[in-house]
Chain A
Amino acid sequence: MSGADPAGLTVAAGPASGRGGRLALLFGGLAVLLAGGAVASLALGAVEVSPGAVLRIFLHHLGLGEGTGFTGQENAVVWSIRLPRLLLAGLVGSGLGVAGAALQGVFRNPLADPQLVGVAGGAALGSTAAIAAAGGLLGDLAGPLGGFLGGLAAGAVVYSLARFRGRTEVVTMVLAGIAVGALGIAGAALLGFAVDRPELHSVVFWSLGTVSVATWRLVAVTSLFVVAAALLLPFFSRALDLLLLGDREAQHLGVAVERVRLAVLGLAVLASAAAVSAVGVIAFVGLLAPHAVRLAAGPAHRVVLPGSALSGAVLVLWADLAARSLHPPVEVPVGLIVAVVGGPVFLWLLRRTRIQHGGWG
């Protein structure tokens, strides 16, 4: 147990008194990272805007400043391009993070993640199909709504395949999730070729994701779904903790298991489908964010759900900043950055988890 961070062990396993400080540190640190990422995202890019000018632009839009000290171009770049992009990145990260945490809890499985259980692929297909079929009728809501239905259908197929005699078979679930997810992504891409409409996305979009599509309208629609899920999921924190003991145990302890499972699944699909239909599939966020929080602060959902929302937002925000800064004016797909950073970090997390409590078996 003489790892690089012995303090992490003692506190994670330590008495209750040490936990408050650690929580404050975790959430404080994430908040600082989020704020720093936000400022950097607004200031940096092809047009550099000084933080002072960013502040004055904000004050101006809040009706407070006198509207001087920045150019019209700076105003347009910050307010119409960078701010919605920043918000969308944060929302998508939050949605994927909190959905991953909820799915892992409800499936009692550290592997579950919007992409791995097929929900993301289903959402991609559902979103594409809805835009193609009903985009004129539903407008901006077609993508997220279709995504929600597609994600829900994919989740239901995977889950019903994996359920057998009251148990969830982990390996079946992952295999079915991979198949359904691949089917969904391929279906979305094929539909894109077949229908050939400009508002349908390409296969690169669906498999790697990009936040460059951000508009205020997209931010508004996505926030509707993600915020609802992120605010409602914590009501199930204790029930989710008990579900980790097993369905039977949770039932004996007074949890209405099926009701909780359906509600949590629905909310997780809502958040991940909104994220996927907005920016495509960004892998890893749903795994990395909850696992990092669990390792730092234990597995209680009261902490893991909000912590995953926050750390997911930080991850995608910074990844998007890198995606558009690495190689300007070309944008690297944000999913690539997340994978490049997230892969090694996740491997390290796995190792730490093994040291802490013997791994996942």
Chain B
Amino acid sequence: MSAPLLVGEGIGLQVEGAVLLDGVSLEVRAGEVLGVVGPNGAGKTSLLRVLAGETAPTSGRVLLDGRPLARYRPRELARRRALLPQQTLLQFAFRVLDVVLMGRYPHRESSAERDLEAAQGAMAAADVAHLAPRLYPTLSGGEQTRVSFARVLAQETPLVMLDEPTTSLDLRHQELVMGLLRSLADDGAAVVAVLHDLNLAARYADRVALMSRGRLAALAPTREVLRADLLSEVYQHPVVVVPHPQRDCPLVLPGTSA
């Protein structure tokens, strides 16, 4: 096994007296998809923000390639990790191509041709190439998400982090985005995705981090975490886990209350 790309050591985060994260330790390795799941308010987004270097933890630390995040210069960090936020509100009438090209900002040495090539490749992968000349504010929510995803791909980083990347997407595009993440990992990237849909985690994640009230309730290979007893307890609702009728993965369903 290679050395972990990203290491979180005893991460704690307190904001205005509220404990958002408490003693979270994890490692992310190149080639894996780590799904982060948990109920609302469990700290999934906070964890992602700390791991991305956006928010400094109040205790513990995060190392990328063995080096604390705080010691990276902004552009240098942006060449190593990209993050897709839940929603990007952009009111100004940039064309889709311009938005995707913004992902090339950290690559200062890159030529204009290379930037365009990366942007076009990313747009094709995210199925937004046909939207290239459109103005971003005129797109639907799902289209905007895919454009932002293309921007993240154009950043060409070995670590890709995503906050609920599939929320506003239709079924086909959910599968498309998750499949792309899978192949990014197969090509050697490390992917950390906060996922609302447990079945997307079941299908695409190698390991799952299950968050509960700011702590890690479990961090293990997907099948070991997506168990009915564990999920029922953390989500405080009966959960049924059955084999997927077509795919080799579990299928998670809400059960009936006793």
Contact = CB atoms under 8 A, between A and B. Distances in A.
Chain B interface size, as a band, is: 20 to 34
Contacts of B221: none
A244 B94 contact: yes
Given A251-B54, A254-B75, A357-B137, A12 B88 contact: no
B85 A254 contact: no
Interface stretch (B21-29, B96-104, B207-215, B235-243): B96-104
A241 interface: yes
B102 A12 contact: no
B135 A252 contact: no
**Secondary structure of the B contact surface, majority rule:** mixed
B181 interface: no
Interface string B44-82: 000000001010000000000000000000111111011
Interface string A343-361: 0000000000100111011
B89 interface: yes
Contacts of A356: 93, 135
A248 interface: yes
For A244, A252, A360, the residue with the greatest tally of chain B CB atoms inside 10 Å of its CB is A252
A253 B85 contact: no
Given A254-B105, A298-B95, A244 B54 contact: no
Interface string A244-258: 111011011111100
Interface in B192-209: none
**Secondary structure of the A contact surface, majority rule:** loop
A249 B85 CA distance: 7
B88 A238 contact: no
A300 B94 contact: yes
A14 B133 contact: yes
A360 B88 contact: no
Contact of B79 (A16, A251, A254, A299): A254
A360 B94 CA distance: 13
Contacts of B98: 241, 298, 300
Given A255-B105, A300-B94, A357-B93, A246 B85 contact: yes
B93 A245 contact: no
Interface in A1-36: 12-16
B124 to A, nearest CB: 17
B52 A13 contact: no
B138 A238 contact: no
Interface residues of A, number: 31
Given A15-B133, A358-B137, A251 B92 contact: no
Contacts of B81: 252
Nearest to A105: B92
B120 to A, nearest CB: 12
A67 interface: no
B171 interface: no
Interface in A272-301: 294, 298-300
A356 B134 CA distance: 11
A254 B138 contact: no
B90 A253 contact: no
A244 B76 CA distance: 21
A110 interface: yes
Interface string A322-361: 0000000000000000000000000000000100111011
Given A13-B135, A254-B74, A254-B77, A360 B91 contact: yes
Contact of B91 (A242, A255, A361): A361
Nearest to B92: A299
B222 interface: no
A13 B74 contact: no
B83 A252 contact: yes
B92 A244 contact: yes
A13 B79 contact: no
B106 interface: yes
Contacts of B85: 246, 248-249, 252
Interface in A154-178: none
11 contacts: A12-B93, A14-B133, A15-B133, A110-B92, A242-B102, A244-B92, A244-B94, A249-B85, A252-B52, A300-B94, A353-B93
Chain A to chain B: the 4 pairs with minimum beta-carbon distance, closest first? A254-B78, A254-B75, A254-B106, A299-B92
Interface of A: 12-16, 108, 110, 238, 241-242, 244-246, 248-249, 251-256, 294, 298-300, 353, 356-358, 360-361
Given A246-B85, A298-B98, 13 more contacts: A108-B91, A110-B91, A238-B105, A241-B102, A242-B105, A245-B88, A245-B102, A246-B89, A248-B54, A252-B85, A254-B105, A256-B74, A357-B93
